[in-house]
Structure 1
Amino acid sequence: MKPTLRRALCALCACAAALCAMPQTHAAGAGEKVPIGLAAPLSGISALFGQSFSIAAQVAVDQANQAGLTIGGRRVTLELVTADDRGDARSSALAAQYLIRRNVIGVVGHGITAASMAAAPLYSEAGVPMITGSSSSKELTEQGYRTVFRTIGHDDAAAAQAAHYMWTTLKARRVITVDDGSAFGVRLARQFAQAFGAAGGVVTARRTVNDKTSDFNDLLYVLKAQQADAVFFGGSVRQAAELMRGMRRTGVNSRLMTGSNGAADRQFLDITGPAGEGALSIEPGVPAERMPGWKQFAEAYARRGDTPMSTFSPFVYDATQALIAAMKLADSTDPARVTQALHKLRLPGLTGRIAFDEHGDLLDPSYTIYEVRQMRWTAQRPAEPAK
């Protein structure tokens, strides 16, 4: 090899070594990328539901990045890493394992309680916090994992407030409970019955229907025979709407209240039509127009995509905001320190104050009673806890 060529190659090798030794950045001025996980049903029958979560979480990430983040003296850029849990236990475990391998600092999700409960032990073992904005069963936080949080009230509290409203506002004294046989529906109806009985009311019958049926003829016969003041239903939105339509068709004049999260939406009215008039639903949070920053959130959401916003989108947004705020409070991207900060967090969120008890539940969740009036869900008033 000629001396001149040898010298040139040596110079090139020295430059390459120097470049390899230089700190690597993902983009000029962008800073170190910090992954945040989002687990939700992004495919299948609940895809729209999950996609709305993804958009809401991305809005929070976008806002944080635009404002600029410095953690531990380093400029960081947040990156949302999504995983499809398909809304079932097996897929949620796979989604959780994927996000853990991606070294996320925390996870927003999962969408439904069954998925969250399957994933929770995996996150706990890995020391990664998870914050759900939609899994409302009390059983989730009763598992005892310190890494589990939620920005939505749990079903036991919703049932108690529904019973309080029935007794004090509707003046109902005789009520029938109906559930769809699911863990969610059974527990919700049971907790309602306990709270209503404690207030002095009488539950004249308790009925369970198959969660796939739309044939309520046997149940409607019982409802018509008893003509209770009200019926409380724990189950899906679709079945709540079918039941309401059947009640009016067969002359059952009892008031129907559903604890189906998300019932106060178009799907219920599309099924019932005019028969939905007078139906009641208890929903988490306050009406959108009373949320501080609602207009800005709605506009940012619309810019991100055309997937309809779900009832839970604001709670998912707040879950993402809480995770980011905890990271800032801890001044660290270490999941263990972020988890510790979440237990101390006090954040004025879109849906209300975000602060958790020792179980990871909200300290003061809010609910609103809605009623169908002239084919529109109308907020009646914030639900009040039983005294």
Structure 2
Amino acid sequence: MNRARCYLKVLSLALALAAPLSKAEDSVVVQIGFSGPLSGMSEAYGRSLFHAAQLAVDQANSPANAPLNVIDGKSVRFVLAALDDKQDMNMSILVAKYFVQSGVVGVIGNTNTTNSLATSAIFDEAHLAHISPASSGRNYTRMGHRSAFRVVGHDEQAIYSLVPYLLGDMHAKKIAIISNETLFGMGISGKFEKALQDFQKPAFMRENISGRTYDFNAVLDHIQEAGVDYLFFGGNAEQAAMLARSMQRKGVTARLISAMAGTAGDNFLKVAGTASEGVIALEYGVPPDKMTGWKKFYSSFNTAYADGINPFTVCSYDATNLLIEAVREANSTDRKKIVEQLHNIKYKGVSGNISFDETGDLLSPTFTVYQVSNLKWQPIKVLQTSKH
């Protein structure tokens, strides 16, 4: 309990520093929260999403947008209050409780399914919009929380688009599954396993590992002995990169597959190196060169920040711009009004058109299969949304 109180004091100071009061009496500071990992194993991933959100806020505050930044007759300035949830469920709950008590009008986050499931009820009780740029677990939007949204497709849609492609176009014959023991890892691996059964091609074997381990030796020995040709990994991109390196070191010839983990980004290539060659990843959205506004976003982001871009970076940018637009259209900082505006919004983001169904799920999501070739991610197939 003392540790929790101490952390809340740190959060109070962080938000106080993040959002200085406006000096003009006729202007209003509008705070937007960001909850994601800014330290630890997933720091590179989290900072990329945080900086994308910051870029959106900075652009919204540009002089060119001043005529748009008026609420109830007063000019407004948007401020991002970013807090480190360390990709940890308990820490994310503390962050969520603090945001509820603070003056934020909405939250960009959480950035993984486990934390989104843990915090959604806290946000919803306060009618605080929370838009995830990355949480793909289907249950996140199945809890009846009207303030929950996501700007990516859910994992069941993704998997039921991926499996027929693997069995058909990729001619997969003997498939193994490794799942880390996180809610995301177990969830997406379970859906992959069920989809294989539905398509009458059961997985040859499934192994579970810790979400924090980099020791894959025992599991890979079993896979190598079995002569598996494809290995599906349910887990985060950082762990997937280390798995790829272990597979290369041990001479495992199975091709590694990842889904909805942000794997098809710069950081995976940096960590996995030559072991990334041939790796397959399914990610949300169309390829970047098919995205309207991608070149401008890419240039602006790389000019401002040195972070690598992952598939969810642009989603964080879109989620932040979406929340800002909802505040403008609602002409209010009232949390309930912002939630209702999000349910009615139609927004054209870099990643595509964004509007939601009654549960807060994105309408008509698209997915892309990528493959590493010559140490670069190359799109090889765009998949339309499955009805699942």
Amino acid at match of 2:112: I
Deviation sequence 1:238-284 (CA, Å, 0-9, x none):
44334434445555433321226122234433454434322211112
Q: Identify if the C-alpha distance between structure 1 residues 63 and 143 changes in structure 2 by more than 3 Å, giving closer, same or farther.
A: same
Partner residue of 1:47? 43
Corresponding position: 1:278 with 2:306: no
Partner residue of 2:32? 36
Residue 233 of structure 1 contacts residue 240 of structure 1 at CA under 8 Å; is this kept in 2? yes
Between the aligned partners of 1:75 and 1:380, the Cα distance in structure 2 is 46
Deviation sequence 1:36-92 (CA, Å, 0-9, x none):
222222334433333323321122222223212222333322222222322222222
Q: Identify if the C-alpha distance between structure 1 residues 81 and 272 changes in structure 2 by more than 3 Å, giving closer, same or farther.
A: closer
Between the aligned partners of 1:46 and 1:229, the Cα distance in structure 2 is 29
Instruction: List runs of 5+ in structure 1 lacking aligned partners.
Output: 1-24
Amino acid at match of 2:348: P
Partner residue of 1:320? 320
Q: Identify if the C-alpha distance between structure 1 residues 229 and 89 changes in structure 2 by more than 3 Å, giving closer, same or farther.
A: closer
Residue 164 of structure 1 contacts residue 385 of structure 1 at CA under 8 Å; is this kept in 2? no
Residue 240 of structure 1 contacts residue 260 of structure 1 at CA under 8 Å; is this kept in 2? no
Partner residue of 2:174? 174
Q: Percent identity?
A: 35
Corresponding position: 1:91 with 2:75: no
Secondary structure of the equivalent of 1:203?
Answer: coil
Between the aligned partners of 1:96 and 1:327, the Cα distance in structure 2 is 20
Residue 180 of structure 1 contacts residue 209 of structure 1 at CA under 8 Å; is this kept in 2? yes
Between the aligned partners of 1:385 and 1:271, the Cα distance in structure 2 is 31
Amino acid at match of 1:365: P
Residue 158 of structure 2 contacts residue 386 of structure 2 at CA under 8 Å; is this kept in 1? no
Question: Which piece of structure 1 moves more, 93-102 or 303-312?
Answer: 303-312
Q: Residues 186-205 of structure 1: matches in 2 within 5 Å?
A: 186-205=186-205
Between the aligned partners of 2:190 and 2:104, the Cα distance in structure 1 is 38
Instruction: List runs of 5+ in structure 2 lacking aligned partners.
Output: 1-20
TM-score by length of 1: 0.85
**Which protein shows a greater Rg?**
1
Between the aligned partners of 1:287 and 1:325, the Cα distance in structure 2 is 25
Q: Identify if the C-alpha distance between structure 1 residues 270 and 44 changes in structure 2 by more than 3 Å, giving closer, same or farther.
A: closer
Amino acid at match of 1:141: T
Between the aligned partners of 2:280 and 2:233, the Cα distance in structure 1 is 10
Between the aligned partners of 1:288 and 1:58, the Cα distance in structure 2 is 20
Between the aligned partners of 1:211 and 1:153, the Cα distance in structure 2 is 23
Deviation sequence 1:300-326 (CA, Å, 0-9, x none):
323433333343221111111111222
Residue 364 of structure 2 contacts residue 385 of structure 2 at CA under 8 Å; is this kept in 1? no
Corresponding position: 1:361 with 2:361: yes
Between the aligned partners of 1:320 and 1:221, the Cα distance in structure 2 is 44
Residue 261 of structure 1 contacts residue 284 of structure 1 at CA under 8 Å; is this kept in 2? no
Q: Identify if the C-alpha distance between structure 1 residues 118 and 323 changes in structure 2 by more than 3 Å, giving closer, same or farther.
A: same
Between the aligned partners of 1:73 and 1:279, the Cα distance in structure 2 is 53
Q: Residues 63-82 of structure 1: matches in 2 within 5 Å?
A: 63-66=59-62, 67-68=65-66, 69-82=69-82
Amino acid at match of 1:230: Y
Amino acid at match of 2:346: R
Q: Identify if the C-alpha distance between structure 1 residues 191 and 74 changes in structure 2 by more than 3 Å, giving closer, same or farther.
A: same
Corresponding position: 1:137 with 2:137: yes
